[in-house]
Amino acid sequence: MKRIISIILLAVMLVPLAALAAPVDYAALSDEQLQAVIDGANQELARRRIENTQYLATGSVAGFFVGIKSLVRGEDFEGKPAFTLSYDLRNDTQELISPMMAITVAASQAGTPSEVTVILRPEGISAPNFEDLAPGTMLSQSTDYLINGDGPVTVTVSQLFPGETISEPLVIELPLP
Digit-coded pLDDT (tens) for 115-158: 999 998 777 766 777 789 999 999 999 999 999 988 899 999 99
Contacts of 34 (CB under 8 A, 6+ apart): 26
Domain definitions of the chain by residue range:
25-174
Express each pLDDT in 164-173 by its tens digit. 677 889 999 9
Q: Which CATH architecture has domain 25-174?
A: Sandwich (2.60)
Tell me the pLDDT tens digit for each residue of 33-66.
Answer: 776 676 666 555 555 555 556 899 999 998 899 9
Q: How many CB atoms lie within 10 A of CB 82?
A: 23
Where are the extended beta strands (E) located within the chain? 57-61, 64-75, 81-91, 103-109, 112-113, 116-117, 138-146, 153-159, 170-174
pLDDT the model gives residue 15: 55
